[in-house]
Amino acid sequence: MIVLRLKPIADIRSMVERHARVLVVGCNTCAAVSLAGGETEVETLVETLRLGASRSACQTEYTGAMIQRQCEPEFVDKLEAGGYDAVLSLGCGAGVAFLANTESVPVYPALDTLFIGAAKGHASWQAECSACGSCVLGETAGICPTTRCAKGIMNGPCGGVKDGRCELGDRDCAWVQIYDRLDEQGRGDDFDGLGSTKDNSVNSMTCEWDMNADSGGSK
């Protein structure tokens, strides 16, 4: 699932305070599950922004709303944003972008989109994928170097590894983990062949995918 985090309130206020009427829109799918953009979070953010506005004599009015998914027209079409001067989205970057494409007023992100992750525990997720469009997990024992290596390199470990830990941030070295898991699976010899397996010409940042197209796949 896409994991999201609320931006600092001061940053949100500075984006939207110039507008008189702001519609705060949650997304009832990934954003709700990651406890960043569900109904409760929309209500809390609206109340927080109203309180901040009243304390600073700001005239901005905030109203909350929910839609099921901000990235699909069948749901976005039901959003009643008329009468508002701006939309504040509690969706992922795709949701914000889709709303910005469909609404005539400015759309602002209230959340930062962190990664595609898997649950570790309650309200805790592990980054597993960055949607690069050319998956190598089959070769890397299910550990993504693009996502889990601090430098995103494909031929680690680099010289910054020490005792299995990465020189950058509080994390284990992804490439040591890849080697260890391949070894555990009896595939340790495959490690030497890694490093040239990733097709970086395919990048989800620049491609779109039409499942209905004859050829299918990326274009």
First to last CA, the chain: 24
Cα distances from 130 to residues 113, 144, 151, in angstroms, run 11, 9, 13
Q: Smallest Cα–Cα separation from 107: which of 38, 2, 22, 9?
A: 22
- By CB under 6 A, is residue 149 in contact with ligand SF4? yes
| Residue where the block lists tokens 């070295």 | 173
> At a CB cut-off of 8 Å and minimum separation 6, what does 68 contact?
27, 28, 29, 75
- By CB under 6 A, is residue 194 in contact with ligand SF4? no
Helix/strand/coil percent split, the chain, to 5:
30, 20, 50
Cis peptide before 157 (omega within 30 of 0): yes
- By CB under 6 A, is residue 136 in contact with ligand SF4? yes
Among 73, 160, 188, 216, binds ligand SF4 (CB under 6 A): 160
Q: How far is the CB of 9 from ligand SF4 (least distance, A)?
A: 31
Residue list 61-120, contact with ligand SF4 (CB under 6 A): none
Q: How far is the CB of 164 from ligand SF4 (least distance, A)?
A: 9
Among 20, 51, 118, 131, binds ligand SF4 (CB under 6 A): 131
Closest CB to ligand SF4 among 83 and 169? 169
User: Which span (69-77, 85-93, 126-134, 205-213) binds ligand SF4, by CB under 6 A?
Assistant: 126-134
The phi and psi torsions of 97 (rounded to 5 degrees) equal -65, -40
User: Which span (42-50, 61-69, 125-133, 209-217) binds ligand SF4, by CB under 6 A?
Assistant: 125-133
Contact positions vs ligand SF4 (CB under 6 A): 129-132, 134-137, 144, 146-147, 149-151, 153, 156-158, 160-161, 166-168, 173-175
